[in-house]
Amino acid sequence: MKNREGKKIFFSLILVAILIALAIPLMAENKKEKSKDASKVDEGYTAKDAWKGKDAEAKSNYAMYCSPCHGDTGKGNGPQAEAMEAPPRNHTDGNYLSTRTDDQLLKVIKGGGLAMGFTSSMPPFDNLLTEEEIKGMVKYVRTLCNCEYKKIGAVK
């Protein structure tokens, strides 16, 4: 009888131990989740982070929509370049792109070459990209030419 009591206690202790062992990782997980949320609130979503996000978005938009003609690195040598009536602009040419304002670039990307007196080989993107995304493309092109209007090597 005494022995059976002992066994009972022993097994309930094991059961409790197993339950605790199972509960600890769950609690830890919960804590992690909570601290993640807390860091979000604490640090906030800074403008810098927002730009990081936009840069990544612009980069992937460029790879998807522009590189077929302008090339992966913007040199104007994408796979479709040879079939073009006019060569796609070399976006790494700071000498040339520093003669163009952001507004002019925006207009071409938005309305296509025809909007700026160039050829229709440069298609309009206002039906594919939002205004915000097109502004991101202008900024991205500026990183490729490492230039601003009238300034070469201005953008790093």
Residue 94 interacts with ligand HEC (CB under 6 A): yes or no: no
* Cβ proximity of 103 and 109 under 8 Å: no
Q: How far apart are CA 69 and CA 93, in angstroms?
A: 15
Q: What phi, psi does 57 have (nearest 5°)?
A: -65, -45
Residue pointed to by tokens 């005494």 = 2
Instruction: Quote the least distance from Cβ 155 to ligand HEC, whole Å.
Output: 14
By the rule CB under 6 A, 122 interacts with ligand HEC: yes
Stretch that binds ligand HEC, among 6-14, 32-40, 45-53, 86-94 (CB under 6 A): 86-94
Q: Say if CB 125 and CB 110 are below 8 A apart.
A: yes
Interface ranges with ligand HEC (CB under 6 A): 65-66, 68-70, 80, 84, 86, 88-89, 100, 104-105, 108-109, 113, 118-119, 121-123, 125, 137, 141
